[in-house]
Amino acid sequence: MARSRQTPPRGSAPRPSGSAGTRPESGLRAETGDRASPPPTEGRGFNAFRMIILPSVGLVVLLLFTQGWFMLADSVTEGWGRWAAAQKKNGWTITTGAPQRRGYPAKVEIGLPMLRITGATGGLEAESASLTFNGWAPGTPIFRISGPVTLTLADGQKLTGTVDEAKGILKQASGGTSLAVTLSGFRGRQVTTGVPVTLDSLTLSVDPLAPGAGASDRTPVYRLAATLKNLILPQTVTGQFGTNMPEAVLQAEIRGPFVLPGSGSAKAPGTLTQALQTWRDGGGTLELQRLYLDWAPLKIGIAGTMALDEGLQPEGAFSTSINGLMPMLDRLERQGIIRGRDASVGRVLLGAMGQRATDGTVTHTLPLSIQNQKLTVGPVPLMAMPPIRWGDDMQTPGTPTPAVTPQGVTD
């Protein structure tokens, strides 16, 4: 019997394909396929690696780096202690408070609170000092001082004040170890009188040119350079000179078999005294290419050669260009260092040698010599040089003769 075909009620729209009640075949296949597919495993394995393995590796690296940092900090601290103890051979005593390790992780810095350095030629006290090795340059130590400091001069006078920064940098070079020192912004006073003491800037560099061990007497082994700007000192310190030094410049070379003590070389001497003895015995000299001093009342340019005598005291011969020599004689006469009669003789002798400029200043081109601890300018013995003691292992130099009497001039 034929089934009658039903027709939808009038006014109703035909049911669209895929609507509720009649699912498309393609949708059924897709849904069936989804239920049958296994869950993915590759993404979960990568997530596990990223969440567990990578942090573990990073933690191990961090622990190793931290251990290395502390090992380097311990090594620097121990090295500083050994170096400070070794300086006793050179006549210096160096003490500090308990070293403080800091600077992790970028650098290794050893704080040296209450630094105290004392020796026969003076001393230094600083509340805050540090020794730093930057992470990217572990072979370049940087020594810094800042804040309150006290300087003790050779005669016992003390200067106290603050310094913006004093910094010394050591670098290893092919010929040896170079040194660069900078100091800026010292403002202080003399302790006993309260007289102001200031220094705008000081720079010093020591650069190796060739190995010093076995060098000939004409071989340059170190180059020296220094500049000073605007130094003001008390009259008790400057003596016969003025209290203001606007500028000083040094350019020189050390020639001959000079090796720094404690430099790590197999032939390095144990003390500075031994180093200087070897240098002197090998014919070593200091070639003074330029020394300029603007120190009232004088402006001096000096060049020449200096060496050490049997007592390790400086001796040498130099050429000089001096402005202000006559006012210097006047100053020495007023201070009673030269008698009036002798000052008059000096003026006559020097007056015949000077060259007067259009502005009235007189320039003297004269030989200068240091011998037997006496400084002589031209024909005029100027002053006795104080002996230098290089270390505790050095025999005390003989006391220089106090009176210098050629041409009737006394010191």
Q: What is the pLDDT of residues 87-144, one digit of tens each?
A: 887 788 999 999 999 988 888 899 999 999 998 778 999 999 999 987 655 568 899 9
243, burial (CB in 10 Å: exposed 0-12, middle 13-18, buried 19+): middle
Q: Which residues contact 185 (CB under 8 A, 6 or more apart)?
A: 163, 164, 165, 199, 200, 201
Please give the full DSSP string across 143-164, using - where no structure is assigned: EEEEEEEEEE-TTS-EEEEEEE
- What is the rounded average pLDDT of the residues 296-308? 93
Q: Which two tokens stand for residue 200?
A: 């705008």
Residue 318 is predicted with a pLDDT of 96
Q: Which residues contact 250 (CB under 8 A, 6 or more apart)?
A: 224, 225, 226, 227, 290, 291
Q: Which two tokens stand for residue 155?
A: 């005669």
- Strand ranges in 235-379 using DSSP code E only, listed in sequence order: 244-255, 285-295, 298-308, 314-323, 355-356, 362-371, 374-377
Residue 262 is predicted with a pLDDT of 65
126 or 334, which is more confident: 126
In this structure, the dihedral spanned by the alpha carbons of residues 37, 38, 43 and 44, taken in order and rounded to 10 degrees, is 150
Long-range contacts of 40-49 (CB under 8 A, 24+ apart): none
Q: Which two tokens stand for residue 68?
A: 């290395």
Helix/strand/coil for 349: helix
- What is the rounded average pLDDT of the residues 44-69? 76
Q: Which two tokens stand for residue 222?
A: 């170190």
Residue 263 is predicted with a pLDDT of 61
Asked if residues 226 and 276 have their Cβ atoms less than 8 Å apart, the reply is: no
Residue 41 is predicted with a pLDDT of 53
How far apart are the C-alpha atoms of 195 and 238, rounded to whole Å? Answer: 13
How far apart are the C-alpha atoms of 393 and 128, rounded to whole Å? Answer: 31
Res. 353: pLDDT tops 70: yes
123 or 33, which is more confident: 123
- In the numeric block, the tokens 């071989």 are attached to 219
Please, which pLDDT band fits residue 236 given cuts at 50, 70 and 90? confident
List residues bridging with 182 in a β-sheet.
167, 203
Res. 20: pLDDT tops 50: no
Which of 161-170, 204-213, 256-265 is most confident? Answer: 161-170
Q: Which two tokens stand for residue 284?
A: 């070593």
Q: 164-193 burial, b if ≥16 CB within 10 A, otherwise e?
A: eebbbbeeeeeebbbbbeebeebebbbeee
Asked if residues 95 and 129 have their Cβ atoms less than 8 Å apart, the reply is: no
Q: How far apart are the first and last CA of the chain?
A: 154
Write the single-letter amino acid at 162: T
Q: What percent of the chain has pLDDT over 90?
A: 39
Res. 405: pLDDT tops 50: no
How far apart are the C-alpha atoms of 285 and 393, rounded to whole Å? Answer: 22
List residues bridging with 145 in a β-sheet.
129, 166
> pTM of the predicted model, to two decimals?
0.73
- Strand ranges in 37-195 using DSSP code E only, listed in sequence order: 92-95, 100-102, 107-111, 115-119, 122-134, 141-152, 158-173, 176-190
| Omega within 30 of 0 (cis) for the link into 220 | no
Q: What percent of the chain has pLDDT over 70?
A: 79
Residue 214 is predicted with a pLDDT of 72
Residue 169 is predicted with a pLDDT of 92
How far apart are the C-alpha atoms of 132 and 73, rounded to whole Å? Answer: 10
